[in-house]
């Protein structure tokens, strides 16, 4: 019996230390359904206006508790519809003036758009991007701390636009059943 009491005391002490040092974290996941996006050169931009507070009750409930952004990615099937290789690119425009999407990549760049990630696709290739600790395929842009536009938006008003483009002069890329997923640390 004394042995069991000692075990409970040790476990209680360990939990107290973990809580006091901040080693236990609460991770929240926010997901925004983007449906299907089709990016074809010469067509209007394939994009989605995101209002996180409207799209995710988890975000609305935890916006003021966010301590750090852990990870983010675009999930879904990404398909190259052409017989030549292409890089699919995901861009973000922070603080858009309205929910009206921009017309093309040049407008996105002019509006201060930032490339978040790139995915290389062979001719007629489809890649399924699923959640993992290191999402398969996407090459993420390198940002530091407060310069990461997703971090800025999550800690700010949560209003932004996401766009998909191809990197070549001629491209035809579909992102099917797309979701933008973010995990954040909301502290102990």
Position 73 in a domain: yes
Q: Could you report the per-residue pLDDT of 136-187, keeping only the tens digit for each?
A: 445 555 565 557 787 788 788 889 999 999 988 899 999 998 888 888 888 7
Contacts of 19 (CB under 8 A, 6+ apart): 188
Q: Could you report the per-residue pLDDT of 64-113, keeping only the tens digit for each?
A: 888 877 777 778 899 999 999 999 998 999 988 889 999 999 999 999 99
Token pair listed for 79 = 């398909």
Please report, for the domain that includes residue 129, its CATH number.
2.60.120
Position 82 in a domain: yes
Position 133 in a domain: yes
Q: Is residue 77 within 8 Å of 177, Cβ to Cβ?
A: yes
Domain residue limits at 120: 25-185
Token pair listed for 43 = 């067509």
Cα separation, 132 vs 124, in Å, equals 25
Locate tokens 């042995």: which residue?
A: 3
Locate tokens 């301590």: which residue?
A: 67
């Amino acid at each position: 019996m004394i042995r069991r009491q000692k075990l409970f005391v040790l476990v209680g002490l360990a939990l107290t230390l973990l809580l006091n040092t901040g080693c236990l974290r609460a991770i929240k996941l926010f997901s925004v359904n983007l449906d299907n996006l089709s990016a074809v050169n010469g067509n209007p931009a394939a994009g989605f206006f995101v209002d996180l507070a409207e799209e995710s009750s988890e975000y609305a409930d935890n916006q003021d508790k966010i301590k750090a952004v852990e990870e983010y990615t675009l999930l879904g099937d990404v398909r190259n519809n052409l017989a030549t290789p292409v890089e699919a690119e995901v861009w973000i425009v922070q603080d858009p003036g309205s929910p009206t999407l921009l017309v093309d990549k040049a407008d996105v760049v002019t509006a201060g758009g930032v490339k978040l990630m790139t995915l290389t696709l062979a001719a007629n290739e489809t890649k399924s991007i699923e959640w993992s600790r290191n999402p398969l395929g996407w090459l993420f842009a390198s940002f530091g701390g407060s310069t990461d536009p997703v971090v800025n938006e999550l800690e700010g008003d949560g209003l932004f636009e996401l766009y998909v483009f191809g990197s070549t002069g001629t491209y035809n890329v579909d992102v099917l059943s797309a979701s933008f997923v973010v995990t954040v640390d909301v502290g102990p």
